[in-house]
Amino acid sequence: MHLSKLLVCWSALLLALAATFAQTPGTPKSTKPAVSTYDRALLRPALLKDIAPATYQVKFVTTRGEFTVTVNRAWSPLGADRFYNLVKHHYYDGARVYRVIPGFVAQFGINAHPPVNAAWAKATIKDDPVTQKNLRGTLTFAKTALPDSRTTEVFINLKDNTHLDSMGFAPFATVDDKGMNVVEMFYDQYPDPAQAGEQANMEKGGDPYIASKFPKLDTITSASLVAGPASSKPAAKPAAASKPQ
């Protein structure tokens, strides 16, 4: 009789332990960053017209670590305003760093959600005069050969790319050297999607498509405005150029 009670108690204890260590229903099995929803304001680009502060900072949290960008509006006013509105409404959250060319650029700006990409496809801004050089660590909006074609895509110069200055690429921000240690770790072993004709597919399919075809690409978990009076901080200087190998 005592043995039966002991077995019953032992069985109950095992069940309780199993329940304790079992995965909670709905808990994801993977820690892969994902963004399941988005700010609906992003579907109406024409309404996102806030003027950015003279200087402001944006903190990026990525699958490689964190880095902070300092934006100087005087360098590229329209570009700085566009970037400010995109970050304010979390456009870059969940975006992949989809184009990384060693010794050239790391580019991002394709949203994780196809409807958002469709909304911004023709939301162009006019070109800004190029007042700064495309030095290592500077951020610049991507554009086509056509004038006034900037939308949402941004690249970080991985080295001095001053040949881009005369092509109309206007830097608007910088990453410091410490942050560049993170940027330079972004996965860079896939072929250039611009050459492979994959950018349109990425925009149309969003992150589900990108994850299925290019699963090793790094992700921007979040990009958010840094709280505080950024406008009181001195303008950042471009990061020092790296020495030639």
Q: Name which of 17-26, 60-69, 114-123 the model is least confident about.
A: 17-26
34 band by pLDDT with thresholds 50, 70 and 90: low
**Can you tell me whether residue 175 is helix, strand or coil?**
strand
Query: Between 146 and 227, whose confidence is greater?
Result: 146
Residue tagged 């709905």 (tokens)? 26
pTM: 0.80
The C-alpha atoms of residue 60 and residue 118 are separated, in whole angstroms, by: 24
Query: 165-181, pLDDT tens digit by residue?
Result: 999 999 999 999 899 99
Beta carbons within 10 angstroms of residue 231's beta carbon: 11
Token pair belonging to 214: 């290019």
The C-alpha atoms of residue 232 and residue 53 are separated, in whole angstroms, by: 10
Query: 130-140, pLDDT tens digit by residue?
Result: 999 999 999 99
CB-based contact 203:121 (threshold 8 Å): yes
Residue 35: predicted pLDDT: 60
- How many separate helices (H) and strands (E) can be counted in the chain? 6, 8
Q: Name which of 15-29, 93-107, 178-192 the model is least confident about.
A: 15-29
Query: 51-96, pLDDT tens digit by residue?
Result: 999 999 999 999 999 999 999 999 999 999 999 999 999 999 999 9
Domain layout of the chain by residue ranges: 58-226
Sheet order of strands, 55-62 included: 99-101, 105-108, 154-157, 138-141, 171-175, 65-72, 55-62, 220-225
Q: Name which of 34-48, 65-79, 227-241 the model is least confident about.
A: 227-241
Taking residues 215-239, report their average pLDDT.
71
- Beta-carbon-side half-sphere exposure of residue 74 (alpha carbons within 13 Å): 7
Taking residues 33-42, report their average pLDDT.
81
Q: Choose which CATH entry (2.40.100.10, 3.60.15.10, 3.40.50.2300, 3.40.50.10490) describes domain 58-226.
A: 2.40.100.10
* Maximal C-alpha separation, the chain: 92
